[in-house]
Structure 1
């Protein structure tokens, strides 16, 4: 007599598998197929993936880096706009795509007519509306940027604000449901850190470290360390000081990371693209990865998931190539 596996036990077993094996499991039977593509399972598998990395004492983050298929470099027009919950937004040959490298599902986006990602861009998850948003900005007059946002649910671009900033760093860093950039204030040329809250649709200036050792320069970058927003200097001869913001928008929470106190590393995955810069079958995320420390802090954090770029919270697993 065959033993019956209860649904809750089966789900706990399946949630522990990676996406590649889950896609294979969908062919076992119809009940497994519908379970794996259900919104609740997708959410719980995503949470498991996050927690699995957090509990790994030897790992800070997994990161994802865009490269040409035949060279470990990416062109100026080709870069990752951002990554959130397993989805990756890529500016690719003057096109904009959102895809899931694990499932190889891709969704092309149409840019606003006059914007070509020339000033700023970013991608992230709006937890309040359960939606993903693409943010792009283009020059509007002298020292001013018109910022627009696309909701994946509505597929409509709308103008958020015309800000009087010049963006020094083009790609926004995602942290705590907000995107962050280093900018120059057009009125007094002061360098600032600003955030765009994806849920509230508003910009805010972020206080910087109040310390004589700290200075925001043209070689200053933003990134993520220990799940915290960080600032670091990449100027030649610098000591590579890394400042962490422990609490959102709290000036006193900035903390200088000890140079010899960090033993964890990041895993960096190469996101490769076809030679002809067309993605008919989706992204290719190689299984191989390498370990790095510090030098790619600004690279987006990546987590494996089943989340669909079409954002119906399901994946057409029957059409995914394994």
Structure 2
């Protein structure tokens, strides 16, 4: 009974530590390493990190970007894991930039010759798994979508959709990846791919939106899906209640933004691990913030790929 109480007390202490302190703790002994790296600990620690970021008014949102993008693409981030496609080595890198634990996966054969027209990365809560989604253009307005499950490490064709993708990186929101597309009738749409259900659906657009969708982008503002342009003159819309048309809200031009912390990642030439830059860049103005709304939300965690 004493051992059980001791384990409970230990868990209550460790869960309050940040990832850098936990990295030191896993070196204490084998039992600590086994406990801290197990889902029994990493999942509640992840929940605490989410809550801590959510209620930190000085933080706004924590986001992640690549420092060097040549022949590499940051696909997304979920639960502290970051997914990068490297066209230099024809590999997918999924890792935790804080713990520097990385898995290397192979790209589909066709992606060694041409980049995908769309991609996205997210967590499948129904299977406790992570999925990378990519699309290849087969012909005009036809895209074949494939998915890679981290658990199975197998690429699988999901379906062929009748869209041309206008935005390449899927924005993760509410368990789904989102893109702006053009259908067969040249209509501009917002579509979502539910990662758990493996289904596509159309997301209603805001009434009276004057965006030129060919130059518009999707992002996340206040944990809500948003539409924005890349100039200060463009409007910013946010969907306050997911998938509800009436919930779209046009933000005032002089809206007071919370500052976002941007973490830059650099990938060494050997790609053996992610490096997380010590310095963070703070966005304080609307013109600056609009350039990072589409950056993936990042949460500190001890989750391993």
Q: TM-score, normalised by structure 1?
A: 0.86
**1:259 partnered with 2:253:** yes
Which residue number corresponds to residue 95 of structure 1?
91
Over 6 Å off, 4+ runs? none
Which of these residues, 142, 145, 157, is aligned with residue 144 of structure 1?
142
Alignment of 1:264-279 (within 5 A): 264-274=258-268, 276=269, 278-279=270-271
What is the CA-CA distance between 1:126 and the residue it aligns to?
0.7
Aligned counterpart, 1:291: 282
Give the superposed CA RMSD. 1.7
The equivalent of 1:86 in structure 2 is: 80
Q: Give 1:34's aligned residue.
A: 34
Q: Give the Cα separation in 2 of the matches to 1:302 and 1:216.
A: 29
Matched, 1:225 2:217: no
Which of 199, 203, 208 lines up with 2:200 in the alignment?
203
* Residue-by-residue CA offset, 1:249-282 (whole Å, 9 max, x unaligned): 11111111223332311100010122x3x212x1
Q: Secondary structure at the match of 2:53?
A: helix
- The structure with the largest helix share of the pair is 2
In structure 1, distance between residues paired with 2:256 and 2:58:
11
Question: SS in structure 2 opposite 1:306?
Answer: coil
- Where structure 2 has 5 or more consecutive residues not aligned to the other structure, the ranges are 284-288
Number of matched pairs:
293
CA distance in 1, matches of 2:107, 2:12: 41
**Is the Cα–Cα contact under 8 Å of residues 191 and 216 in structure 1 kept in the other structure?**
no
Q: Do 2:37 and 2:303's aligned partners in 1 also have CA atoms closer than 8 Å?
A: no
Aligned to 2:7: 7
Indicate the residue corresponding to 2:187 in structure 1: 190
1:172–1:181 contact (8 Å) kept in structure 2? yes
3-state SS of 2:11 partner: helix
Return the offset for 1:217.
Answer: 2.3
TM-score w.r.t. length of structure 2: 0.91
The correspondence of residues 65-80 of structure 1 with structure 2, limited to 5 A, is 65-68=65-68, 74-75=69-70, 77-80=71-74
1:250 aligns with 2:244: yes
